[in-house]
Chains A and B, each alone.
Chain A
């Protein structure tokens, strides 16, 4: 299993949080985690990425418990394995789309590969926007650029946090298709957390979170 969440939970001081919950994700598998606002979806993403440490339970990424690693080793595992697409935090603001992708590869410790970047931008239909700054992009363009930024690091686990909440039906459907197709093409496991129920029919597997952050149901 690429991702194993075992009875993991995290509660914020001010209330709210996620878990305890358990689920697993194999390489190449896609899963939708659907829950209302405040159910701890973003907290779960941060727990998986090692940005937060679970207060109980375990989270294994590629068989390694993230929270047990020293900060530098945790950063290294995240850099090598995980890419995250955020709802609003998409790209480094001062860099062009192309420079964002080049930087992402550099930070992931991968060699420069302009041809790969060009192919990816072309596949996501944003090649003409390569020289633009993030503020010069529309919502949809920025989202595709953020996806390109995540995929260019060749991640084995792709996490997407509310990738469609600001989009209309058509754009949301296109974004979901893009995520699924891109993850499949890259052979990456995909976990999308969202409150957007429009995505549910598009995913072969879905986990439902209750408002208390616990699993309320699942559909394989």
Chain B
């Protein structure tokens, strides 16, 4: 009966196409919203995994979280290096990782940190070796892909963290050498350029003693020579505080607690200090996402209304078709079609429209999100991508098919109520 259902759809191609497009619009909207909200939530969860607290300068706690974990906003300021020592001395702290921000390269942030940052994001080297000395850097997978940089090459950082930090603000006196490329992790590490904190100090003229760095070489990297010591990054230096000049500072500190008790004690203790603030990622991320939640819910309601309009349109078209086609349906019955067969044909028409609309909607939704992510790097930056199918999309697909079946049910059921003899008599 699928041939007959397709023939009827073809016979009123304009209306069929309109219904398919209407449903596709609804499905595309729902899929796009699902993709954006899920990808952003996933990305935020992945990026903040293992980070219980962020310590930075006083200011907006949300800004601190956005800048230090997700690298989306400007930092709130700097904190004295002594704060790092204080945190590491606290028995409630299992891990404290410093971050020194301020520069970028072609829109990608240069982050001065320690090798533990890589462990935090489960990063491993895909190529080259880790940074061991100041002005050596490891590139995140996306940075390497987008810039085409490879181990051994040099680049100049620009002052500022935005994509508009141009060549005019380049730190000509302090070129970085790429020593390694990280494998993709699907986290913020993919979009960062990682180096030592000393590199950031060097670039900005903050004095510090030269650390001992086995294997450290400042040779001309343009010859492309590099070793291929893939694997975990090995710590190479004495404690940062021992290497720092008096008055040196960092931008923020990522803290992991050693015990649940620290979650209660530490944030309050830190916030009591005049120069520091402690922000809890889970709280701030939830607050940030709640800002979007209202807009996403509103858009979702709109998409559901479009879906309802599509269902209503399918219903109306099929009902009208069932009436104008009463003679056809009677003829089919006289030709030997059982009522269930004719019912199935009308139901199938609704399902075919719904299936076509749902599949087209899935395609449009993914395409729209992917194009938006490519057109607006800020979206890609928060994990938005149209690639990959989410399990929840199957629910949208099933919902669309259910809607098509529901819309076709009443017109199809009219077959059972049809008075065959009266229809045939009217046809004369």
Contacts and interface: CB of A to CB of B under 8 A. Distances in A.
Interface of A: 42-43, 46, 49, 51-52, 72, 75, 78-79, 84, 86-89, 91-95, 99, 103-104, 107-109, 133, 149, 153, 161-162
Instruction: Tell me if B's interface is mostly helix, strand, loop or mixed.
Output: helix
Contacts of B420: 51
B8 A94 contact: yes
22 contacts: A43-B425, A46-B424, A51-B421, A51-B424, A75-B336, A75-B338, A78-B334, A79-B336, A84-B334, A86-B331, A87-B428, A89-B330, A92-B328, A93-B327, A95-B7, A99-B3, A99-B7, A103-B3, A103-B4, A103-B335, A107-B335, A108-B335
Contact of B10 (A43, A79, A87, A94): A94
B186 to A, nearest CB: 50
Interface in B390-428: 420-421, 424-425, 427-428
Given A75-B336, A78-B336, A103-B335, A94 B424 contact: no
Interface of B: 3-4, 7-8, 10-11, 325, 327-328, 330-338, 341, 420-421, 424-425, 427-428
Contact of B7 (A42, A78, A94, A107): A94
A88 B428 contact: yes
Nearest to B11: A94
Instruction: Tell me if A's interface is mostly helix, strand, loop or mixed.
Output: loop
A41 to B, nearest CB: 10
Contacts of A46: 421, 424-425
Contacts of A94: 4, 7-8, 10-11, 328
B421 A93 contact: no
A92 B336 contact: no
Contact of A42 (B3, B8, B10, B424): B424
Given A51-B420, A89-B327, A94-B8, A42 B425 contact: yes
A86 B328 contact: no
Contacts of B4: 92, 94-95, 103
Nearest to A45: B424
B428 A42 contact: yes
B428 A93 contact: no
* Interchain residue pairs A-B with the least CB separation, the first 8: A79-B336, A94-B11, A107-B336, A94-B7, A89-B427, A94-B8, A107-B335, A51-B421
